[in-house]
A and B are shown apart, each in its own frame.
Chain A
Amino acid sequence: MPNFIMSYLGSTVTPGEAGNQFWALIYVLIIFAGVSLAVVAMNWFERKALAHFQIRLGPMRVGPHGLLQPIADALKLALKEDIIPAEADQFVFWFAPVIGLLAAFTVYIVIPFGPSQAVSDMNIGVLFMLGVSSLGVLGIVVAGWASNSHYPLIGALRSSAQMVSYEVAMGLAVVSAVLMTSFNDKGTGTLSMIGIVQAQQQQGIWFVFKFFPLGLVAFVNFVIAMIAETNRAPFDMAEAESELTAGYHTEYSGLRWSLFMLAEYAAMIAVSSIAVTLWLGGWLRPFPNLLHAPAWDFIFSLFPGLTFGALAAIAVIGVMRMPAHPYFKVQRIGLAVFAALLGFIALFLLVIAVGARFADATNLPEKLEALLRIFARFSEGIDYVYWFVLKVALFMYLFIWCRATWPRYRFDQLMRVGWKVLLPITLVVLILTAIVGVIVS
């Protein structure tokens, strides 16, 4: 059995490249479950973080610190009556959320969580991501039209205009990052997501710092375009509640509405993954070139375990700070179990990381050595996924931060920013990147 496990873990290619459909299916299921869980967690975290930004408490009633609020919300949405307006276009109304969801989840095929931790590595990875994620707007546009109502229609029109405008700036920013991959000995770059991260590894620099400040400017432009592209505040013109009630999903209710929310958050995670892959080194840990001694590898491989340990510690503090009143008894036990679970995960990850450290030691018993080899591969994979997910999580926080900080743009301001500010800047950055790259290499 260790051989089978090793043949998985020891693989240096993605399941798509190896042509193993069964394995690819497992990855797809893991990613689907992971993203859905991340969306649920993000839902809770966004409400909590926004509340604290505004000096409120946010959800506090369902579970300790409202931890079970997403579950209660999901139940409520599933049980709610699903209304289709009489004058709506029935089929299109039914189909619109599905388009958005399909587009948002298809993108995850090429997201590289590690050098072999992706469903597939396409030669056209970046183009695939941009193309499929731009299909998501069709869901919004069609939903607004099919509702046969004024506010949704205006929301849909705004959304389509906004999407078309910001896609240009977004694409040009991506091109300047792809251009940077070509400044090597061979002079050819790559569009593959895994290839782009490997190019950053070879050149020894994250593209956000390359040709300072060109990479940084392209990155910032991409982030602005990305927020606009996912219809998030301060660019959430399509669902501006003070003007359009709820914009394109005004007429939606229940499960169908929650599909829109799921698609929106999944798309946010997907575009953040593009940004992380192109500019922030994907799965690479900080300073892989400066601090590359085995001791540093070991220290950085402890990070996943320590993160879960810190979360467990926060949960333990929460248990201790819970009022002693009998009313809080159930909550207290629940939070304690949650803390124990987090602590167990932390312990597991730490054991694996420490075991991996001693995999190369001599005169070990044969069985133990086989086990430690598995630990070593496993720990490596966890490292890759951990750094990637950590960077994406920072982006998720950035989304919430922006939403809490800036007031909503007016529509003409939005268009002016897109066409007259972002587009010229990204064009200039692209040209300058090409010139500097030719001069330097």
Chain B
Amino acid sequence: MKLVTRDYWRASWISLGLAALFVALLAGAQALETPTSYLHITRAEVLSEETRGFMPPPYALAALEPRGEWTARELPHAPRLHHPTGGLPQPDAALTQIIWYKVTTGDLAPIPAPHYLYIPRWKSDGTIAVYGDGRLLYQSHANLQWNGSNRPLWIALDETAGARPPREIVIRIQHLAGIGGALSSLWVGDGDALRWRYLTRDWLQAQLPFMSSAAFLALGVFSLAVWLKRRGEKLYLLFFVISAAAWIRTLHYHIGLDRLPVSDEWFGWLTVNSLFWLITGTHLFLEQIHQHRQAWLNRAAFAVTIACSILTLPLPGLPDATLVAPLIYVALLALADMAFAADLWHSWQSRSHNGMLSAGWCLFSTQFGVHDWLLQNNLVSIEGLFLGAYANVGAFFLFTYVMFRRYIDAHAEVERVNASLEERLHQREAELTTIHRHLREVGQRELLNRERQRLLQDMHDGLGSSLVSALRVVEHGQLNENEVAQVLRGCIDDLKLTIDSMEPLDADLLLLLATLRFRLAPRLEASGIALRWQVRDVPPLAWLDQRNALHILRILQEAFTNIIKHTQAHEIRVATEEKSDGVVVTVSDDGQGFDIEQAMRKGGKGLTNQLRRAEAIGAKVSWESSGAGTCFSLWLPAKGGRVPDAKQTVQPKNLS
């Protein structure tokens, strides 16, 4: 952050350095001047007359006019003011005064032309007209009050054909009695010698305040845009308020040479009161920095600001802002001193570096205000500069610095948060990976366990029990070789189907039936029974996993075994079809048939097994038997298929 700070100040110094360079260039022009190329006039003959209303200046002055008692006075000349209060009088009815200044330039011919008259400062609250040897050379053409009197005058003396430099210059200032009306010392002579003085003064007095306030406002608008998106950050809004108030206030310094689009009353109200808004806004801004709320102070600031803003509105019966400005500024300066001192104190308390810097500058520049007030009231030399504009320039740099810091900090914060988020994301990812691996391991273990269970069950029900019963029979010597071979063949067939059931089927029932046929073919062939394979494509059964497949294989295997063993059939027909939300597999034979009810009552293990297995997978088995044969049907649901209960036991198959 230190580096950031340094960068900011580096940028500030560079811009200030550029400004200084500009001034230095202007100053360099001084080298061109020679002592004899200009006159600096510090004495004048002065004549004043009381008038009523404002009259336009005469185009030409007759010789020896105006008449009256001329007295010699030092320049700058500034009469003591006695402030009228109340509304601004009507121009044609107001008590006014004309002050004439007469200076002799002598013979300007030896000085190189063109010649210029340079007036660093004048005050009028009315009009100014300048005559050279009785001819009108220049007149103000602006509002009466706000007439750009902060702009130095630069008047060409002999820029017309056949003109010769005037020997006598007369200046006529008509102003409201009691206010305005003052003139600085005058400069006459070679343009090259005087121009830098004029330009420097104009730049310092008008251009610099104008430019900086515009820049300030531009940043203020940016801040406003930020605030509109982030309403919580009042600092940005206050920055905008300050910049806008400062911009309005700075209009004083640089506009008015032309007639304003608003009346003097409104312009005065706006620019005088903007100073109140500026001070109050700045105080609130500082408060945001040091984060110490001062309720009473804020109430006082708001009260003063609102009261002044309302009481000086350009309405009938209310005092004119411009006229009472010198009085209310006293209250304002007191308020500013108090508020900024408090802000400085609280910034110190909260060790806010930015706060101390900003409040310190504000307190310091309030003293500029004191100087400007004295200058406004002709209590110090009127040739001095109004310093208030520089207070704004300084505040601009400081406040911009604060905003800049905030902006950069916010970015850094975002980056930091992002980095930590990323780190947390990585952690989470790692955790998830671990969890996922655990789950996979658990899942795999479960899968293996289920497979093991399934095979164990099958071995127990099928192969195991067949072998055990075969063993018992062999032990009792009741089986011949051929019968033993048959039992063993049955066992191997069982085993083959078990193995086949482990293959992935992809929900293909026909593949399952095909496999069954493939395995039973040798047995059927040996028994001489023909097989008619009449399967048709059926929709895939999504629930047909390995476990369910084995149940189906066993059910159908049993059906075939029954036919081969008990029916003397010559032909078996196997068919599939889609029926009532499922698929039906029929195995029909042309044997002698059997009594189903009786078989059931006898508790034939084969049939019971088929029923149980069917129930375990949500399927249904049925028999239709007559003397002409038996039709066994297995209905399989299109969807679902019950997930078999692991605890459910299936009776051993009756093979013997």
Q: Do A and B belong to a common assembly?
A: no
